[in-house]
Amino acid sequence: MIYLHKILPLIASPMFLVIVLITWGIVFRSRIAGILAVSILIICSLPIFSNKLITSLENEYMLSDASSAKTADAIVVLSGMVRTIDSKNGLYYEWGEASDRIFAGIELIKKNKAPIMILTGGKLPWSVGKPEGEYLRDVAIKYGVPSKNILLTENVENTDQEAKAVARLLNEASPKIILVTSAFHMPRAQKVFEAAGINTEPFAVDFLSGADKSTIMDFIPSAGALNQTSFFIRELIGRLYYNLKY
């Protein structure tokens, strides 16, 4: 199923639609299809357009200080922030875009917002090395979090499995957690955790949209902007899936 979840959103991506329209235009000699394909490609590649889409994913949340968070039974930090690098000396681990998650979790537990921090054992079928949660546990201990205050879930592949694994680990009626994940991911993550019977206090980090002003560069098409537009569509599909499921 994890392969299906990763592949299906590609069908709804702008690039897939552009390829279909170009193919249609060539096969059926349709000038309209060609013009439509080029138009979609240009619009979806404009930073001014993709930035607005990313901002809309995050507009429910604001970046806040750990001291302002409410207390809970546990702090849950979701996986998705580490890359495994192969080298001559073995496997190494490097931070990805979402590394704010673990450092926010560490800060929250140091502020005594919960007695324990739960890290999820993220590991996809194609992953190499140890589950992400094991690496993050070592990082948290290095930054001063006692090992007795850290719990690790079983291996999980997606947000739904993370929520169910955390519920089993807490093993109590209506536990309350502080959920730490990226701002764009928080709406569906919060929905899934609450569907698992967990009272969830969101603590959003890793905001992709900044406070920068628009410049002329935002009106020049780029591959990065096209990737952002595709990312927006994938996230909407994920939200729709969980809305239908729960």
**Helix boundaries (H) for 147-209:** 159-170, 186-195
Residue 43, pLDDT > 70, answer: yes
Q: Which residue has the higher pLDDT, 218 or 10?
A: 218
Residue 64: predicted pLDDT? 95
Residue 1: predicted pLDDT? 63
Query: What pLDDT digit, counting tens, does each position of 199-217 carry?
Result: 999 999 999 998 888 999 9
Q: CA separation (Å) from 33 to 19, 25, 40, 51, 127?
A: 10, 5, 11, 26, 40
- State the burial class of residue 112 (Cβ atoms within 10 Å of its Cβ: 0-12, 13-18, 19+): exposed
> Which residues share a beta bridge with 152?
119
Residue 127, pLDDT > 80, answer: yes
Please tell me the distance from the alpha carbon of residue 197 to that of residue 152, in angstroms, as a whole number: 19
Please tell me the distance from the alpha carbon of residue 235 to that of residue 241, in angstroms, as a whole number: 10
What are 177's two structure tokens? 């957690």
Residue 219, pLDDT > 70, answer: yes
- Map residue 84 onto helix, strand or coil: strand
Please tell me the distance from the alpha carbon of residue 10 to that of residue 7, in angstroms, as a whole number: 6
Average pLDDT score over residue span 219-225:
97
Residue 78: predicted pLDDT? 97
Specify the CATH class of 66-205 in words.
Answer: alpha beta
Task: Delimit the domains of the chain by residue range.
Answer: 2-59+220-245, 66-205
Residue 172: predicted pLDDT? 86
Q: Residue 83, Cβ neighbours under 10 Å: how many?
A: 12
Average pLDDT score over residue span 63-79:
96
The mean-pLDDT minimum among 6-20, 23-37, 52-66, 199-213 falls in 6-20
Which amino acid belongs to residue 83?
Answer: R
pTM listed for this prediction = 0.92
In sign, the C-alpha dihedral spanning 225, 226, 228, 232 is: positive
Tell me, what DSSP letter sits at residue 68? G
Please tell me the distance from the alpha carbon of residue 12 to that of residue 60, in angstroms, as a whole number: 25
Average pLDDT score over residue span 107-125:
95
Query: C-alpha angle with apex 12: 221 to 6, nearest 5 degrees?
Result: 105
Q: Which residue has the higher pLDDT, 177 or 174?
A: 177
Residues above pLDDT 70, as percent of the chain: 98
